[in-house]
Chains A and B, each alone.
Chain A
Amino acid sequence: MLYLQVLLNGLVLGGLFACIAAGFSLVWGVLNVINILHGSFIVLGAYAAWYAYGILGIHPFLSIILVAPLFFALGYAIQSLLLNRVIAAPVLLTLTLTFGLDLMLSNAMLAAFKADFRKLVLDPPLGLLSVGNIVLPVDRLAAMALALLLTLLLYLVLSRSRTGRAIVAVRMDREAASLMGVNVSRTYAITFGIGALMAGVAGPLIAMIFPISPLTGPVYLGKAFVVCVLGGLGSVPGAMVGGLVLGVVESFAALWFGPEHAITVSFALLIAMLVFRPTGLIGRKGYE
């Protein structure tokens, strides 16, 4: 019974991790941009949901629909106005640029929202789902379901739509795609927009579960890194698998080795993956 509960805890935690990592993985895989802003986008999305609920009474699930286009626009603008100017430069330059933007965003949030920890407390709460002795919180289950849904949606967009194929084509070979008539910089902007959108919609889910503060971005960014390496870079199903594996590993590591070693074990796994299977669990070469 204990093991089953811990396994389920791990899976719902993993769903959240997948949600946190999906957009990050896409941007890294396609644009070769390590988007340091990703964590702060999540936090910004969380604040949007917190204010929407606190002031306007909009349920976080609804605010997902509201924040999605805003974050897409924000991401699109950042890529087309700033990142596209240095996209051909070595990866360190884009990393530095997003790092700088992240400093600006997190300090702006610090000034606007103050450093206090806040939490979106639903009234009435979503409650629990219990079967026998097994208990699962509905908010986490919903977050996991939504993460799966969004990931599936993203997968479909990438594999079925014209824009999606263009994204994959640019990822495989930028020059060739450009010769085939794909507008590369527009495709980049759309990809970054989708990445920002995925981060933004993770925010309201996070807000229901974790305390929010302007400087928690790096915590989510760290998880996104591990999930990407575990699952395979740039692969959307990889982010899902990587997230779930990380959630389960951390949960059992906490059970068997004590809670202080949960993170140790997950990072040991990360190093092992980098040594023995650098393409990740799913990504053979990572193309959809």
Chain B
Amino acid sequence: MSIIRSSLAAVALAFALPATAQDVIRIGAPLPITGPLSPEAIKQQRGYDLWAETANKAGGVRVGNRRMRVEIVYVDYQSNTPRAVQAAERLITQDKVNFLFSPFGSGAAKAASTVSEKYQVPTIAATASSAQVYDQGYKFLFGTFTPNDTLTEPLADIVKSKAPGVQRVAVLARNDLFPLAIAQEMEKSAKARGMRVVYSEKYAIGTLDHASALTQIKAQAPHWIFATGYTNDLVLMRKQMADLKIEAPLVTMVAAPAYQEFIDSAGKGAENITSAAWWHPAVRYKGTDIFGTTEAYVQAFKAKYKADPDYAEASASAAGAVLQMAIEQAGTIDRQKVRDTLANLNVTTFWGVVKFGPTGQITSLEPPVFQIQGSKPVVIHPPQVKQGELRLGVQ
């Protein structure tokens, strides 16, 4: 009883006297908790919360001889980028956070990075992939996503080496920020390897029928069909490909096949579909971070949320785990020292190898390429974590 009472007292004290909260590391996280981007904010929150909970359960972050608890301070910027910038500034100046996690996506992360640079607050972006976010010469911004072309380049390499007969590529992209950007990278990667792009079109958001586009694709007899969109688009498209009897040695879809619901909904049609993402629960890394191995991370996530983590959720957890490693290595929460440690970090985590390049964007991560084989995603690249070989033929 006295233990409970004293711990209650400690909690009460912690709330009552924020000024003495020297034993707490506060990290600001401006997120689009309301508005159109709210599903993404939920993913980010799930990732951050899991890290904070895990770190605190282990007694907190080791800073020199002390242990410090982690507290994440969320601010809703209502899916409005200018507000994200204000939120970041407020978190630093009023809430006195020690560190910052970037707002969602490349655009908002870039906008807010100006604020963290001004106040010299180490900031980790968990969902910003565009290289343009990191090209401003800023010293305090770090990102856990590699550029978009790191998804398409290994894919094109594998195809080139395993299926040299693949020459004709058809690209059909959802007219939306990421699906379009990744489709453009795919075209570049294919052309760079001497393949010919025989069809390239985009479809509107909310399209209920892909028959015309697919009929045209069929007429071009491509060896490789590269389609982008979200789960509903790609499930429908896969069904219509079967309806029109379109067969090709290779069909790649981004970004749905990473999700179980795609595999369930596409049924046998999911077989041999290839895809790529920054991370996948099937990769296997032995990390030295708080989560340890990838398996252990997936287990912890499942225990808390009853679902498999996806790359956005894992990236948020990785942002926290990496920050923790940098603080522990630096042995202080001094912003400049933590920043310097982050810049020189070279560690393995459940997320993969983490080493930030001169711009602050991660350079060490090898995004996995995977293929649905026997109704399960099987990693076929990179070699050190691969579980199977590329199979050709999608019927």
Contact = CB atoms under 8 A, between A and B. Distances in A.
Interface stretch (B107-115, B209-217, B294-302): B209-217
B208 interface: yes
Interface residues of A, number: 39
B232 A117 contact: yes
A5 B232 CA distance: 24
A264 interface: yes
Given A2-B216, A251-B211, A255-B212, A118 B203 contact: no
B53 interface: no
Contacts of A139: 243
Contacts, number: 104
A252 interface: yes
Nearest to B264: A118
B390 to A, nearest CB: 25
B267 to A, nearest CB: 4
A262 B239 CA distance: 19
A252 to B, nearest CB: 7
Contact of A13 (B211, B216, B231, B232): B211
Contacts of B239: 119, 209
Given A6-B215, A119-B265, A211 B209 contact: no
B266 A119 contact: yes
A11 to B, nearest CB: 11
A211 B232 contact: yes
B9 interface: no
B258 to A, nearest CB: 14
B261 A118 contact: yes
A259 B210 contact: yes
B166 to A, nearest CB: 23
A260 B232 contact: no
A182 interface: no
Contact of A251 (B209, B231, B262, B267): B209
Interface in B226-284: 231-232, 235-236, 239, 242-245, 261-262, 264-268
Contacts of A66: none
Contact of B201 (A5, A10, A250, A259): A259
Contacts of A223: 208
A13 to B, nearest CB: 5
Given A128-B245, A219-B206, A117 B211 contact: no
Contacts of B386: none
A259 B243 contact: no
Given A119-B267, A259-B201, A260-B201, A135 B232 contact: no
A250 B213 CA distance: 11
A90 B38 CA distance: 36
A9 interface: yes
B202 interface: yes
Contacts of A210: 208, 236
Contacts of A5: 215, 244
Judged by DSSP, the binding face of A is helix
Nearest to A254: B212
Nearest to B211: A9
Nearest to A247: B209
A128 B218 CA distance: 16
Nearest to A261: B204
B232 A254 contact: no
A10 B210 CA distance: 11
A25 interface: no
B212 A130 contact: no
A135 B204 contact: no
A277 B204 CA distance: 28
A216 B268 CA distance: 24
A128 B242 CA distance: 9
A211 B231 contact: yes
B204 A117 contact: no
A116 interface: yes
Contacts of B207: 259, 262-263
A121 interface: yes
A118 B265 contact: yes
Contacts of A250: 209, 212
Interface in A262-278: 262-264
B235 to A, nearest CB: 4
A241 B101 CA distance: 55
B202 A260 contact: yes
A216 B232 CA distance: 10
Contacts of A125: 242
Interface string A129-173: 010000111011000000000000000000000000000000000
A117 B235 contact: yes
B175 interface: yes
Given A119-B239, A211-B236, A262 B267 contact: no
B204 A259 contact: yes
A134 B268 CA distance: 23
A258 to B, nearest CB: 5
A251 B245 contact: no
B213 A135 contact: no
B206 A263 contact: yes
B243 A258 contact: no
23 contacts: A9-B209, A10-B211, A10-B212, A13-B211, A117-B261, A117-B265, A119-B235, A119-B239, A119-B267, A121-B267, A123-B267, A125-B242, A137-B244, A211-B231, A211-B265, A219-B206, A250-B212, A255-B215, A259-B201, A259-B210, A259-B212, A262-B212, A263-B204
Interface of A: 2, 5-6, 9-10, 13, 116-119, 121, 123, 125, 128, 130, 135-137, 139-140, 209-211, 213, 216, 219, 223, 250-252, 254-255, 258-264
Given A6-B211, A258-B202, 13 more contacts: A117-B265, A118-B264, A121-B265, A121-B267, A135-B245, A210-B236, A219-B206, A251-B211, A255-B215, A255-B216, A259-B203, A260-B202, A264-B204
Closest 5 CB pairs of A and B: A254-B212, A121-B267, A137-B243, A119-B265, A9-B211
